Amino acid sequence: MGESSSDESDTTFQLYKDRREWKDVTPVPQDDGDQPIVAIDYTEQFKDVFDYFRAVLQSGEKSERALNLTKDAAALNPANYTVWQYRREILKALNKDLNEEMDFIEKIIVYNQPKNYQVWHHRKVLVEWLQDAAKEKYLTETVLAKDAKNYHAWQHRQWIIKTFNLYDGELEYIDSLISDDIRNNSAWNQRYFVVMGTTGFTEEVLNREIDYALSNIKVVTENESAWNYLRGVLLHDKCGLSRNKKVTEFCEELYNSGNRSPFLLALLVDMCSEQVSQGNEDPLYNLERAKNLCNELSEKYDTVRAKYWQFMAETIEKKSKKEESQVEAEN
């Protein structure tokens, strides 16, 4: 959030310069230099609040009135790091009830600033001080119910889950989000985070997650999120991309049915590249097929990235020639 503009003043707000209890404080104006390049047209309220905020910051005053001043300053510019940092210093100095502060910042996050880094950071520090994350899952779920891809909420959720070992029930929550929106990349990313933070990709989990990805791809074959998740899972498969029978059979069946999802074709290209790099003469995943698939992608199914697919075809061909040269040298 940027500074308030001149048409946003609060007509009910009493300026600090007119408050009797602040007569002992000399406001400190902002110093933009003699010739500011771009002069900002601050509202009178904004100038007043921050002139007094700078004054208490300079003097180091930590009082109830200073705490209330930071509240007004944060309302006018909630992205101001210094305001929130000084507010935390005052909270500690006055030994304030941090649960009250938690309620205060929750309202700001939920109703006003769900995508503001500074308010989420303030919340995180309070949780660290209290060593209590009991309300955090509910808070993030409330925010994510309004915007399921809110990066700040997901970042906070991952932090509290990892820090306080709150993995229980998370896969079920993710399932509900993916059921609501199968293309929710944030939910797919969270699923990977949870698996890595709990069981890891054991053989059993690997098979389960491959099945999960494939079942969702069947529903929407143009869903990049599910394809990316499948790729991520296969990184943990000792067979690689091109030797997991369940995956290759699924991809070939989909391809033979006439499906030309660019994400399917891209995975097939990478399967070919993997086999060529290993010097294998695979009947399915070879140089010729890779070049044909790259041509299909560049000319018809992913024309936006045509140059990339031309580059991929050239790269795989170079890999093939390199392998051939090595074999000849060894013989």
Cβ atoms within 10 Å, residue 143? 22
Biggest CA–CA distance in the chain, Å, is 95
Which ranges of 60-94 does DSSP label H, i.e. alpha helix? 64-76, 81-93
115 given a catalytic annotation: yes
Active-site residue identified among 115, 124, 135, 149: 115
d(CA 235, CA 246): 15
- Give how far the C-alpha of residue 172 lies from the chain's centroid of Cα atoms, to the nearest Å: 20
Judge whether 277 and 312 are in contact, CB under 8 Å. no
Q: Which residues make Cβ contacts (< 8 Å) with residue 264, sequence separation at least 6?
A: 221, 227, 251, 254, 255
Q: Which of 63, 94, 68 is nearest to 83 (CA)?
A: 68
d(CA 228, CA 264): 11
d(CA 79, CA 101): 17
Catalytically active residues are 115
